[in-house]
């Protein structure tokens, strides 16, 4: 968000509407049958048709399809992180929801607090790192998909220059940037990449401006780690290529959209709810990747040659069976310092604290 | 930075400034008539979704722009009725209008976040657009950009060189005197507010139909507030509003280029620059207290009670 007024005002309205909705729907819900397992989902943004929350909701739909009448699912979207999230989680827990999924990083501490007061309710938090007896966390290795997407980008660029529109310099975003670059370098060692930070998860105008800037500076394949489809649209209009994130965005750029790194939560939700029904649920700390079906690539554009597709498929197979790690040594940072030695892979812990650019990325990492 | 980059930055600056120009010039006219409408963001975003909906349903982009203007006017009409006829507080009503607009647009747009639209394209003028440098700098925009640039001189002419503009400004300075002279204060304020709504609506439709041809919730991302601030920091002078809008757009684009070129300045600092630079420049060039008093509409934000006088 670019303006302090909107960031205050919008959630306030949402809060108001949200609380009315929650209150009224909980009253309604309480009147219904008690024997069904009640499952709640809390999203940070509107569901929309593409993006982070949309992918979680697609998983939620798969869950409902699978279990049908056995479960009762409630979805609460656009719940701001912090105090509001805590209130909503508490309301769900106190009205009989035995399993609650929260899908934003900032829900971690609120959920932790509520979990303490509802020991019989099971909580699942996405993208966090804390666990208790009744709180598990789950996340996906998006960087695995990024590596494969980087291979596509590196094969398709004519000018050996890639562009990356990024939101905030946090480890998850940096994992994506570096894996993408390493994937591109694996097929094309001459590659260079510019990164532009928009300091916002969602502002289509600024995302568009950033994508345009990268294209103006000579990048011919761009990708983004922000929430809107603006970068894909920019590439389509300027007759360049784009690789989308979160969802398949091919309808926003028929010619530009090479592929997308997509998220898939359905199998995980089904597995967790099944274990809850069986009474075997345990708090886990899941970081699933391509092998677990949590990350994938969207169907590729016809413009991508068959040999590139084959190469990517091969690498995907190797990531699945563990013989290829995107951050396999030697990984060298921008200043030439060796981060991972040849013959070893970067540890999960080191990845979760990532704060460097790999060699070949121009510009300094904002600290 | 070579000459090509400079041209690219300038071209991007013009388009980045356009939504702000529409909204800010509209608000300037409203405020010149003595009404303070803080609902610009709300009118803009309702204009964005209405324009997008109509364009997506009808396939006519220009109908979409008209719908954006119309929706902005409808929003403004609500505001005008509450503040001018019912004489409610303008600040509170304007804030409410923004909150209402953001909610309403989200509701209206539920089914449209998945729709892909071919946006309004840049004009290609034979010969002129192919000129080196000038072609790109002057003749490479979409029609709405030219509309914004055309509106500016028209507006200046209206405000400062026409009788209607004189009456409008007189009402903004002293509605009681204007009323005593027989001018219909409320009717003219209504017209000004409606004009402001139409302009904000077009600004919003520019975002959803030309700049980023898509609909997503909250896509105006605070541009209405920036437009409002521009009017104040430009001390109610159209030329400075235009300058401020381009300055804001220009610094936004330039900071992306600086990042892309790998200059070692934290991106968080660069993100702040457009706001900082615009405010600093406008405050510096407008710091003469006397001219501020001369330009600020004296009755700004006050309700006009006809009966009392």
List chain A residues with CB under 8 Å of B264: 363-364
**Residue A26 has what pLDDT?**
52
> What does the pLDDT look like over B219-237, one tens digit per residue?
898 899 999 999 998 999 9
The residue that leads in pLDDT, B270 or A98, is A98
**Residue A6 has what pLDDT?**
39
Determine the Cα–Cα distance for residues A313 and A169; give it in Å rounded to an integer: 30
User: CB–CB of A5 and B226 under 8 A?
Assistant: no
Q: Which of A53, A59, A346, A38 lies closest to A178, judged by CA?
A: A346
Percent over 90 (pLDDT), chain B = 63
Other Cβ atoms closer than 10 A to A86 = 18
List chain B residues with CB under 8 Å of A213: 12, 253, 256-257, 259-260
A57/B contact by beta carbon, under 8 A: no
> What does the pLDDT look like over A125-134, one tens digit per residue?
998 888 999 9
The residue that leads in pLDDT, B13 or B265, is B13
CA angle (A103 as vertex; A173, A152 as ends), nearest 5: 40
**What's the pLDDT band for A16 if we cut at 50, 70, 90?**
low
Q: Which of A1, A199, A367 sits opposite B221 (nearest CB)?
A: A1
**Residue A346 has what pLDDT?**
95
Percent over 90 (pLDDT), chain A = 75
Q: Which of B216, B217, B267 sits opposite A197 (nearest CB)?
A: B267
- B70 CA: distance to closest CA in chain A (Å): 23
List chain A residues with CB under 8 Å of B232: none
Determine the Cα–Cα distance for residues A207 and A365; give it in Å rounded to an integer: 19
Q: Which two tokens stand for residue A278?
A: 């069986």
Q: Which two tokens stand for residue B89?
A: 């507080």
Percent over 70 (pLDDT), chain B = 98
Determine the Cα–Cα distance for residues B69 and B51; give it in Å rounded to an integer: 8
- Determine the residue among A230, A359, A366 to mutate to test chain B binding: the one whose Cβ has the most chain B Cβ atoms within 10 Å: A366
B98/A contact by beta carbon, under 8 A: yes
User: CB–CB of A209 and B222 under 8 A?
Assistant: no
The residue that leads in pLDDT, A281 or B265, is A281
Other Cβ atoms closer than 10 A to A171 = 13
Residue B191 has pLDDT above 50, yes or no: yes
User: CB–CB of B267 and A216 under 8 A?
Assistant: no
What would the 3-class secondary structure string for chain A be? Answer: CCCHHHHHHHHHHHHHHHHHHHHHHHHHHHCCCCCCEEEEEECCCCCCCCCHHHHHHHHHHHHHHHHHHHEEEEEECCCCCCHHHHHHHHHHHHCCCCEEEECCHHHHHHHHHHHHHCCCCEEEEECCCCCECCEEEEEECHHHHHHHHHHHHHHHCCCCEEEEEECCCCHHHHHHHHHHHHHHHHHCCCCEEEEEECCCCCCHHHHHHHHHHHHHCCCCEEEEECCCCHHHHHHHHCCCEEEEEECCCHHHCCCCEEEEEEECCHHHHHHHHHHHHHCCCCCCEEEECCCCCCEEECCCCCCCCHHHHHHHHHHHHHHHHCCCCCCECCEEECCCCEEECCCCECCHHHHCCCCCCECCECCCCCC
The conformation of residue B85, written as its DSSP 8-state character, comes to: I
Determine the Cα–Cα distance for residues B166 and B187; give it in Å rounded to an integer: 15
What's the alpha-carbon Rg for chain B, to the nearest Å?
20
User: CB–CB of B98 and A9 under 8 A?
Assistant: yes
Average pLDDT over residues A23-44: 69
**Residue A3 has what pLDDT?**
44
- Taking each helix axis from N to C end, the angle separating A204-216 and A230-237, rounded to the nearest 10 degrees, works out to 40
> CB–CB of A190/A142 below 8 Å?
no
- B114 CA: distance to closest CA in chain A (Å): 5
List chain A residues with CB under 8 Å of B103: 13, 17
Q: Which of A5, A48, A363 sits opposite B216 (nearest CB)?
A: A48
**What's the pLDDT band for A25 if we cut at 50, 70, 90?**
low
Q: Which of A57, A268, A131 lies closest to A122, judged by CA?
A: A131
B102/A contact by beta carbon, under 8 A: yes
Percent over 70 (pLDDT), chain A = 91
List chain B residues with CB under 8 Å of A210: 256
Determine the Cα–Cα distance for residues B58 and B110; give it in Å rounded to an integer: 18
Residues contacting residue A145 through CB under 8 Å, at least 6 positions apart: A261, A262, A290, A295, A296, A297
What residue of B is the nearest CA neighbor of A1?
A: B221
What residue of A is the nearest CA neighbor of B42?
A: A6
Average pLDDT over residues A245-259: 94
B231/A contact by beta carbon, under 8 A: no
Tell me what the pLDDT averaged over chain B comes to: 91
For residue A310, with 0-12 CB atoms within 10 Å meaning exposed, 13-18 middle and 19 or more buried, which class applies? exposed
Pairing of strands A331-332, A338-340: antiparallel
Pairing of strands A221-225, A161-166: parallel
> CB–CB of A144/A326 below 8 Å?
yes
The residue that leads in pLDDT, A13 or B86, is B86
User: CB–CB of A9 and B262 under 8 A?
Assistant: no
> CB–CB of B206/B15 below 8 Å?
no
**Residue B309 has what pLDDT?**
45
> What does the pLDDT look like over A265-297, one tens digit per residue?
999 999 999 999 999 999 989 999 999 999 999
**Residue A11 has what pLDDT?**
45
Q: Which of B5, B116, B262 sits opposite A252 (nearest CB)?
A: B116
What residue of B is the nearest CA neighbor of A231?
A: B212
pTM of the model: 0.81
Dihedrals φ, ψ of A265, to 5°?
-110, -10
Residue A1 has pLDDT above 60, yes or no: no
List chain A residues with CB under 8 Å of B266: 366-367
- A261 CA: distance to closest CA in chain B (Å): 18
- A204 CA: distance to closest CA in chain B (Å): 6
The residue that leads in pLDDT, A187 or B258, is A187
Residues contacting residue B284 through CB under 8 Å, at least 6 positions apart: none
Residue A339 has pLDDT above 80, yes or no: yes
Q: Which two tokens stand for residue A38?
A: 């009640």
For residue B132, with 0-12 CB atoms within 10 Å meaning exposed, 13-18 middle and 19 or more buried, which class applies? exposed
A200/B contact by beta carbon, under 8 A: yes
Task: Report A:4-33 residues touching B (Cβ under 8 A).
Answer: 5-6, 9-10, 12-13, 17
Average pLDDT over residues B146-175: 95
User: CB–CB of B222 and A2 under 8 A?
Assistant: yes
List chain B residues with CB under 8 Å of A233: 119, 212-214
Tell me what the pLDDT averaged over chain A comes to: 89
Give the largest Cα separation in chain B, rounded. 64
What residue of B is the nearest CA neighbor of A201?
A: B221
> CB–CB of B31/B229 below 8 Å?
no
Determine the Cα–Cα distance for residues B50 and A49; give it in Å rounded to an integer: 18
> What does the pLDDT look like over B34-67, one tens digit per residue?
999 999 999 999 999 999 999 999 999 999 999 9
What residue of A is the nearest CA neighbor of B229?
A: A3
What is the distance of C-alpha A20 from the center of its chain? 29
> CB–CB of B225/A209 below 8 Å?
no
> What does the pLDDT look like over B123-141, one tens digit per residue?
888 888 888 888 888 888 9
List chain B residues with CB under 8 Å of A366: 266-268
- B83 CA: distance to closest CA in chain A (Å): 21
Other Cβ atoms closer than 10 A to A91 = 18
B116/A contact by beta carbon, under 8 A: yes
Q: Which two tokens stand for residue B58?
A: 């009808």
A3/B contact by beta carbon, under 8 A: yes
- Determine the residue among B117, B222, B253 to mutate to test chain A binding: the one whose Cβ has the most chain A Cβ atoms within 10 Å: B222
**Residue A15 has what pLDDT?**
53
Q: Which of A1, A48, A366 sits opposite B113 (nearest CB)?
A: A48
Residue B204 has pLDDT above 50, yes or no: yes
Residue A13 has pLDDT above 70, yes or no: no
């Amino acid at each position: 968000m670019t303006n302090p007024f909107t960031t205050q005002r919008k959630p306030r309205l949402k809060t108001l509407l949200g609380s009315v909705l929650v209150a009224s729907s909980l009253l309604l819900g309480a009147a219904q049958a008690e024997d069904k397992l009640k499952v709640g989902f809390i999203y940070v943004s509107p569901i929309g048709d593409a993006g982070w929350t949309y992918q979680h909701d697609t998983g939620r739909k798969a869950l409902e399809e699978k279990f049908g009448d056995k479960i009762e699912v409630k979805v609460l979207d656009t719940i701001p992180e912090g105090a509001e999230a805590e209130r909503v989680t508490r309301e769900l827990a106190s009205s009989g929801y035995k399993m609650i999924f929260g899908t934003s990083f900032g829900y971690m501490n609120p959920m932790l607090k509520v979990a303490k007061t509802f020991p019989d309710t099971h909580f699942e938090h996405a993208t966090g790192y804390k666990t208790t007896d009744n709180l598990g966390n789950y996340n996906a290795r998006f960087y695995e998909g990024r590596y494969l997407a980087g291979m596509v980008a590196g094969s398709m660029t004519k000018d050996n220059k890639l562009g990356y529109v990024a939101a905030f310099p946090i480890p998850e975003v940096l994992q994506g940037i570096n894996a993408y670059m390493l994937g591109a370098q694996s097929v094309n060692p001459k590659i260079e990449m510019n990164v532009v930070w928009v300091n916002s998860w969602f502002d289509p105008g600024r995302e568009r401006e950033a994508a345009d800037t990268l294209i103006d500076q000579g990048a011919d394949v761009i990708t983004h780690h922000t929430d809107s489809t603006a970068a894909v649209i920019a590439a389509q209009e300027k007759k360049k290529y784009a690789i989308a994130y979160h969802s398949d965005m091919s309808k926003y750029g028929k010619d530009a959209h090479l592929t997308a790194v997509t998220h898939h939560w359905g199998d995980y939700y089904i597995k967790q709810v099944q274990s809850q029904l069986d009474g075997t649920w345990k708090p886990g700390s899941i970081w699933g990747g391509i092998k677990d079906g949590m990350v994938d690539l969207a169907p590729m554009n016809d413009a991508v040659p068959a040999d590139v597709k084959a190469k990517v498929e091969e690498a995907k197979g190797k990531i699945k069976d563990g013989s290829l790690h995107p951050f396999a040594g030697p990984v060298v940072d921008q200043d030439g310092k060796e981060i991972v030695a040849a013959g070893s892979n970067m540890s999960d812990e080191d990845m979760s604290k990532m704060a460097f650019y790999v060699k070949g990325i121009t510009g300094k990492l904002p600290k | 930075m070579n000459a090509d980059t400079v041209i690219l930055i300038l071209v991007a600056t013009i388009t980045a400034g356009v939504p702000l120009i529409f909204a800010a010039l509209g608000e300037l006219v409203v405020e010149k008539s003595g009404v303070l409408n803080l609902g610009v963001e709300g009118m803009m975003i309702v204009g964005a979704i209405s324009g997008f909906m109509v364009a997506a349903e009808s396939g006519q982009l220009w109908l979409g722009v008209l719908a954006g203007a119309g929706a902005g006017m409808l929003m403004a009409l609500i505001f005008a009725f509450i503040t001018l006829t019912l004489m409610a507080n303008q600040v509170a009503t304007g804030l409410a209008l923004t909150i209402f607009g953001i909610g309403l647009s989200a509701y209206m747009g539920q089914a449209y976040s998945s729709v892909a639209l071919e946006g309004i394209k840049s004009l290609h003028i034979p010969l002129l657009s192919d000129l080196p440098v000038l072609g790109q700098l002057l003749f490479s925009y979409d029609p709405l950009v030219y509309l914004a640039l055309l509106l500016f001189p028209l507006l200046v002419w209206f405000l400062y060189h026409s009788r209607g503009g004189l009456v409008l400004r007189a009402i903004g300075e002293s509605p009681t005197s204007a009323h005593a002279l027989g001018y219909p204060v409320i009717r003219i304020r209504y017209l000004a507010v409606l004009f402001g709504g139409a302009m904000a609506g077009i600004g919003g439709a520019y975002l959803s139909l030309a700049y980023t041809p898509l609909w997503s919730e909250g896509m105006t991302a605070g541009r209405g507030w920036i437009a409002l601030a521009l009017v104040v920091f430009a001390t109610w002078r159209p030329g400075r509003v235009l300058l401020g809008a381009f300055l804001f757009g220009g610094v936004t684009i330039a900071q992306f280029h600086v990042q892309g070129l790998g200059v070692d300045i934290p991106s968080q600092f660069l993100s702040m620059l457009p706001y900082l630079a615009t405010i600093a420049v406008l405050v510096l060039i407008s710091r003469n207290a006397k001219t501020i008093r001369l330009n600020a509409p004296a009755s700004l934000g006050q309700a006009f009670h006809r009966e009392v006088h």
